[in-house]
Structure 1
Amino acid sequence: MMRVEQAEAKPRPGRKRDHTRDPEILDAALDVLAETGYEGMTIDMVATRARAGKATLYRRWSSKSELVLDAVGWLKSRDLDHATLPDTGTLRGDLVAMIKAPNLRESERKLKVMAGIVSMIARSPELAAAAHEAVVEPRAAVNRIFLRRAIDRGEIPPDADVEKLSLVAPALMAYRVLMLGKPVEPEFLLWAIDHVVLPAAGVRPTT
C-alpha cells in the first residue's frame, strides 16, 4: 500500500519546452543589444521585438546575462561556410570577392553587438570568450585561409605573420564602426586592402 501511495505521489514530468522560436528570440536580442547596449536592454524589450510572451522568455532564460550569452553564441552559428569561400587565384581577388552587401551588413551588426556588451566583457570572462569566438574569430579565420593560400602560391613570403595580418582588416572595420560611427563601405575596404593589407603582407604592387 505504501509503495502504491509513493508511486501516485511521484510528480509527473512537465511538458517539454518548445525551442523552435529560439532563433527568432535570439535575433531579436541581438538587435536590441546593438541598439541599446547591455545596460539599456531588458528581457521585456526582447519579448516585444520578437513578438513573444514575456513568460516564454523568462522560462527559457532566468536572467538578462544568460540571454545575452546565448544570443552572442548564436552569432557563431551564422559564420561563413569555409567550403564556399572564393578562390580567385590571388590574395587581392579573394579579399575583394568577400566585399558583398550581406557580408558587410553582418559584420557591421556583429561590431555593434560587440559595442553593446563592452561594459560586461571586463566582468564576464565567459562573455568575453563568446564574443571573441562570434565576432572576431570568424573573419580572422577566413583571412587566415586566404593568406595561407597566398603563401602556398608563392604570392607572399613564407614567413608572413598570418596571425597578425588576419586581424588587420577586422581591426580597421571595428575602429571605423565603433569609434568613428561610420558604416563599413566597399570603397573603404578596397582602400584598406590595397594600401594596408597587401603591402603589409608583402604583395608587390602591380600595374
Structure 2
Amino acid sequence: MASPAAPRRGRPSVAEAEQLYGKILDASWEVLLDSGLDTFTFDRVARHAHIGKATIYSRFAGKRELLEALVHHGVSKRRDAIAALESQVSLAETFRLRAVETLELLHSPDGQLMERLIDWLDTEAGSPQGGYRAMVYRNAVEKIRSLFETAQQRGEIVIDDCENAARFWLEGLLGHYKMASSEGGHDRAKHMHWADRYISFFFAGVRQQGSPGAPPR
C-alpha cells in the first residue's frame, strides 16, 4: 500500500509570517549590537537567523527599510516597558519610576544602539515629518500629556497646560540624561536620587502655575 502523500506546503499563515518578521528583526538587532552599524548587511542577518537572504528581501527592500522597522519596533517596546510602570500609590511615584526606567533604557546598550539608528536615519536616509527623533519626542510628549490629563480628570492634580507641562517634563529628563552621560555615564543610584529631587521640584512648580487644588497623591 502506497504511503500517503505528504501535505503540500502552502503560503505561511499570518502567525507564521509575523513570527518570521519578528525573527528577522531580532536577528538584525543582535547583529547590530555585536558588530555595529557600519558592517551591517543582510548576509550577516541571514546567517544569524539561519534563513535565506531572499527571505529578508521579500519583506524589506533594503537597509533603510529594515532599520526603519527596527526603530519603530524598538520605540514600541520601550514605550510599552515605560507604560507598564504605573504606581498604585501616587502620581509622583509613577513619574519617579518612569524617569528612572527611562534613564536606565537610554544608558543601556539597547538604548545607545537606538540612538545611533535614529541619528543614521535622520542624517543618511532622509527624514519624514521633521525626522525620526522628532517623531519619538512627539510620541513621548503625547504619552506624558495623556498621563497628566487622566490624573487631572481624576482630581489628582490641577494643570493649566498639560501640553507644556509634558514638554517641560521631557526636556528636564533628557537634559539630565545628556549631562549624566558627559559626567561619567550610568549610575542607577544617582538617577534615583535625581528623580526624587526632580519630582519634588517639578510638581511644586505645577502646583504654583495651576489653579488651587490638591497636590499629587
Give the TM-score normalised by the residue count of structure 2: 0.62
Instruction: Indicate the residue corresponding to 2:148 in structure 1.
Output: 147
Partner residue in 2 for 1:62: 61
Q: Distance in 2 between matches of 1:200 and 1:101?
A: 18
Q: For residue 50 of structure 1, what is the aligned residue in structure 2?
A: 49
* 2:168 is equivalent to residue 165 of structure 1: yes
1:26 to partner: Cα distance:
0.9
**1:47 Cα deviation from its structure 2 partner:** 2.0
Kindly report which structure 2 residues correspond to 1:25-44, keeping only aligned pairs within 5 A, or say none: 25-34=24-33, 36-44=35-43
Q: CA deviation at 1:22?
A: 0.6
Partner Cα distance (2:50, 2:129) in 1: 26
Change (3 A) 1:187 1:113: same
Aligned residues of 1:47 and 1:53 also touching (Cα < 8 A): yes
Deviations 1:115-143 (A, max 9, x none): 2341331341139745554x545544443
1 CA distance for matches of 2:180 and 2:41?
24
Q: Secondary structure at the match of 2:116?
A: helix
C-alpha distance in structure 2 between counterparts of 1:157 and 1:130, whole Å = 29
Alpha-carbon deviation of 1:191?
A: 2.6
- Count of aligned positions: 189
C-alpha offsets along residues 67-125 of structure 1, whole Å, 9 cap, x if unaligned? 11122222244332898552535332112343787994588424421223413313411
Structure 2 residue aligned with 1:72: 71
| 115 and 175 in structure 1: CA distance in 2 versus 1, 3 angstrom threshold | farther
Q: Distance in 1 between matches of 2:200 and 2:33?
A: 32
What SS class does the counterpart of residue 182 from structure 1 fall into? Answer: coil
Gaps of 5+ in 2: 1-9, 208-217
CA contact under 8 A between 2:152 and 2:159: conserved in structure 1?
Answer: yes
Given residue 72 of structure 1, which amino acid in structure 2 is its aligned partner? Answer: V
- Which residue of structure 1 aligns with residue 93 of structure 2? 93
CA distance in 1, matches of 2:150, 2:72: 29
Aligned-residue sequence identity (percent) comes to 20
In 2, distance between residues paired with 1:21 and 1:180?
A: 42
Give the structure-1-normalised TM-score: 0.64
State the distance in 2 between where 1:158 and 1:100 align. Answer: 26
* Compared CA separation, residues 64 and 181, structure 1 to 2 (3 A): farther
Q: Tell me the distance in 2 between the aligned counterparts of 1:180 and 1:67.
A: 34
What's the Cα RMSD here? Answer: 4.1
Task: Give, in angstroms, the shift of residue 159 of structure 1.
Answer: 4.4
Indicate whether 1:175 and 2:170 are aligned.
no
Structure 1 unaligned segments of length 5 or more: list them. Answer: 1-14
Contact 2:42/2:56 (8 A) holds in 1: yes
The whole-number CA distance in structure 2 between the counterparts of 1:47 and 1:95 is 41
Q: Which residue of 2 is the match for residue 8 of structure 1?
A: none
1:191 aligned residue: 193
